[in-house]
Structures are given as structure tokens and as C-alpha cells.
Amino acid sequence: MSRGLRHLALKTRDLERTARFYIDILGLKTAFPHDGMIFLETPGGHDLLNFVGTRARFDTAAGGFDHFGLHFSRAEWKKVCARVKKAGVRVRGRRAGAAIYIEDPNGYTVELYCD
């Protein structure tokens, strides 16, 4: 069904400091640029850490978790979107015909996307 867990998105109040830590100290690489966030690729894999810049306060003890993303082929993504709609799951956000954001039964935000 899915092509796999592709990224975890975490909130940060300081994108530059976060980037320096993960790139300079831990050895991750910038995967691709994106306004207001940074996508970092883990060594030896294709997994991503996505840090989302925010001015809002968040509970760092809770980890600042924002969402996780499941990557699908375009054909599978369309089928998943249809099942989401049929099940009456509320879509909380969209991104240019390639991603939807939903909430799971536990309250976690899940991004379903294709490229």
C-alpha cells in the first residue's frame, strides 16, 4: 500500500541552530530546500527529519511532534484519498494536489502524499 514512512516532522523555534546541530554535529545532509522548514536526510538511508519553524510555544517535554508522512505512488495515493473520503475522515489540510493531512484516532496528524 504505502511506499513507507518517509519523514517525521518536528517543531523548532530556531531553524538555523537546528540545521547546524543535525548537519555539522550529527552528519545529516540537507535533502532539499523548503520555505519555513528544513528537510534533512539521514546517513545511509532515505529517511527524512523535517523541522518546521514556528514562533508558537510548544511543550518540548512532549517532543514538539508535528506530524508523520506516508509516501504513496500517485495511483495508490488517489485510492487512499478516496477511502479517506468514503470513511468520512476529515481532511485538515491540503498541499497542491499532492498531499492531504488527516488526524488519526489518537489525535496524531498524518500526511498522506505522493510525488
Where exactly are the structural domains of the chain? 4-113
| Beta-carbon-side half-sphere exposure of residue 87 (alpha carbons within 13 Å) | 13
- Looking at per-residue pLDDT, the higher value among 57 and 41 belongs to 41
pLDDT tens for each residue of 37-56: 999 887 666 788 888 888 87
Residue with cell 540545521: 19
CA distances to 5, 10, 33, 63 from 48, rounded to whole Å, are 9, 11, 13, 17
Rg of the chain (C-alpha set): 15
pLDDT tens for each residue of 69-101: 878 889 989 988 999 999 999 999 998 889 999
Which pTM was predicted? Answer: 0.64
- Looking at per-residue pLDDT, the higher value among 26 and 95 belongs to 95
Euclidean distance between CA atoms 46 and 73, whole angstroms: 16
Tell me: pLDDT of 2 over 60. Answer: no
Classify domain 4-113 at the CATH topology level: 2,3-Dihydroxybiphenyl 1,2-Dioxygenase; domain 1 (3.10.180)
Is residue 87 within 8 Å of residue 73, measured between CB atoms?
no
Tell me: pLDDT of 60 over 80. Answer: no
